[in-house]
Structure 1
Amino acid sequence: MTNGKISEQAVEMLNRAKAWWTTRLIDIRPGVIRIKGEPIENLIGNVGYAHMVWLMLRDEPPTPAQTRLLEAALVAAVDHGPQAPSIAISRMAVTCGAPLNGAMASAINVLDDIHGGAGQQCLALFQAIDSHAQTRPLDAAVQLALDGFVAEYGKVIPGYGHRFHPVDPRAVRLLALVDAAQASGEVEGRFARIGRQVEKALGERTGKQIPMNIDGATAVVYGELGFAPELARGLFILSRSVGILAHAWEQKNQGGRIKGPMPPDLGYTYLQDN
């Protein structure tokens, strides 16, 4: 500073610092908080959580129909019981003394490619099929995409079949909501057709019915709503975080110390070298 004035070098440094991070999401100044240009006080009490999720991720606010479908998908994936690895981890972490944030972080960290990534992988497959379908019939596009997927990743197709549910009730309900939205002209139904064609093709290939599961159904919803595959995983994590929090809190109130994945008296199998 010279004679009470900020030097040109200091101004340049300040401008560089302010330009280091750029965002179109939020504008915060003393007494002002705007989300995508909308004052936060206009949003509080007037829109729901699903609306805010959409508003943060997209360039335009959602229609009521889009909000309903997004909220349905978020509700559907909230929890799947204490044997789901992420849920079990949150409960075990609490019994090891972790606070809620530590339990949640531990659980969320395992929501990766195998446990938590199927929705992203399924939507990527659907989008590949959609691309192929621009130049060939849908059934041929499905076969082409499935061949490519199996060659690269193996025979397990994400979004289909379930280790516990012969028919996943969450998928049935979500597809019904997509069908209703299509009938009223709120979505195209393109990804619903793709998802069902994949289910048909898998049945023909394997000789048995392999129904769409929650990951496939949410991939349909997120595809119809125009979300990128990576966001399918992020949105799943937002949803499952509710279940993770609830189980961690329940376990905290139940008590217990250092609980492992199984009762200790059941033991485990020791594989001795011959």
Structure 2
Amino acid sequence: MTRSDTTVTDAAEPRYRTSLGASDATTITLLGEDLASDIMGEVGFGELSLWLLLRRRPEPGQTRVFEAVLASLADHGFVPTAIAARLTLLSAPDALQGALAAGLLGGGSRFLGVTEDCGQFLAAKVSALEAPLPDEDAGWDEVARQIVKEERAARRIIPGLGHPTHTSDPRVPRILQIAEEAGLRGPHLRLFEAIGRVHHEVLGRTLPLNGAGVGGAALVDAGIPLPMLRGVALLARAAGLIGQLAEELEQPIANEIYLSVHRHTDYVDPE
């Protein structure tokens, strides 16, 4: 036996640890449960998604808030992510996964990313507060007032404040209601609400709180890890994009979008 053969034989086999899923010849285990008998037909997809994310079974209130946020972010019409998905399907109709991926790749700081940005922003502000946290709205208002002043002085935009379409985003009061009913209206939502109440005193104008922002606040209060906030938004938008692509197959508009741009293109020589 050569030296190299001995090295290979004596080397310990690598082990790869997971607490998610595994399978053998006759069974599939997921999250410590038998997939076929304990999960399929017994656990909804929203709860399962949160269970996979947390790697522990969520409480019913967590699931309700999580699913409400998913619903709030699923689809908003012909936004860039939907248009990108439809145009990609036009270009490559044999690759549905490419069209779906194209739409998801468009989730960033302007679309979907606000959920993550707002959650991260509020988490940083809450963690910087000295204990005990305020009990009443007046206390949170004072905290929010100081934060808005600091952000304005630094010329920074407050995530979750303002919306290009809505003067009053209908998702905000509904998610607040659901979080309250679930017992999960925690410090991040309390601070977010307070920013909505007092920002006009500092900025000199009133802006609406938006659904992406309240979703981020609600997810943090529901125990979603900060690095996964954008993942939740992308999960929600995946459902909406599947709907967009299904509609595109039945009622196509992508070719007209392409032709419209083509017909209205003005070529100019480079300077």
Into which bin does the TM-score normalised by the smaller protein fall? 0.7 to 0.9
Structure 1: unaligned runs, 5 residues or longer? none
1:233 has 2:235 as partner: no
47-56 or 108-117, which moves further after superposition? 108-117
Cα distance per residue 1:177-224 (max 9 Å; x no partner): 12222xxxx325322211111223322221222121111110121021
Q: 1:237 to 1:150 in 2, by over 3 A?
A: farther
Moved more, 160-169 or 137-146: 137-146
Deviation at 1:143, TM superposition (A): 4.9
Does the CA contact (< 8 Å) of 2:161 and 2:208 recur in 1?
yes
Superposition map of 1:1-274 within 5 A: 9-10=8-9, 12=11, 15-16=13-14, 19=15, 21-41=16-36, 42-82=38-78, 84-98=79-93, 99-135=95-131, 138-139=140-141, 141-143=143-145, 145-146=147-148, 154-181=155-182, 186-255=183-252, 258-260=255-257, 263-264=260-261, 267=264
Deviation at 1:272, TM superposition (A): 8.2
Comparing 28-37 with 113-122, greater Cα deviation is found at: 28-37
Alignment-mate amino acid for residue 104 of structure 1? L
Q: C-alpha distance in 1, partners of 2:151/2:28?
A: 45
Letter in 2 for 1:204: E
Change (3 A) 1:113 1:151: farther
Q: Whole-Å Cα distance in 1 between the matches of residues 210 and 248 of structure 2?
A: 28
Q: CA 1:203–1:170 in structure 2 vs 1: closer, same or farther (change >3 Å)? A: same
Identity rate of aligned residues, in percent? Answer: 23
Q: Which runs of 5+ in 2 are unaligned?
A: 134-138
Deviation at 1:142, TM superposition (A): 3.4
In the other structure, the counterpart of 2:136 is none
Cα distance in 2 for partners of 1:110, 1:257 equals 17
**What do you get for the CA RMSD once the two structures are aligned?**
2.9
Q: Secondary structure at the match of 1:54?
A: helix
**Contact residue 26 and residue 36 of structure 1 kept, 8 A:** yes
TM-score scaled by structure 1?
Answer: 0.83
Gap change, CA 1:220 and 1:271, over 3 Å in 2: farther
1:26, 1:35 within 8 Å by CA — same for their partners in 2? yes
Cα shift at 1:108: 0.6
Native 8 Å contact 2:199 2:206 kept in 1: yes
Equivalent position SS for 2:55? coil
- How far, CA to CA, are the matches of 2:205 and 2:259 in structure 1? 34
Between the aligned partners of 2:264 and 2:270, the Cα distance in structure 1 is: 19
Distance 1:114 1:265, change over 3 A: closer
Letter in 2 for 1:213: N
Deviation of the 1:168 alpha carbon? 0.9
The answer as to whether partners of 1:160 and 1:213 remain within 8 angstroms in 2 is yes
| Preserved CA contact (<8 Å) 1:120 1:232 | yes
How big is the shift at 1:24? 1.7
Q: Is the 8 A contact 2:145 2:202 kept in 1?
A: no
Q: Deviations over 1:132-159 (max 9, x none)?
A: 222586445435555665677x532221
Normalising to structure 2: TM-score of the pair?
Answer: 0.84
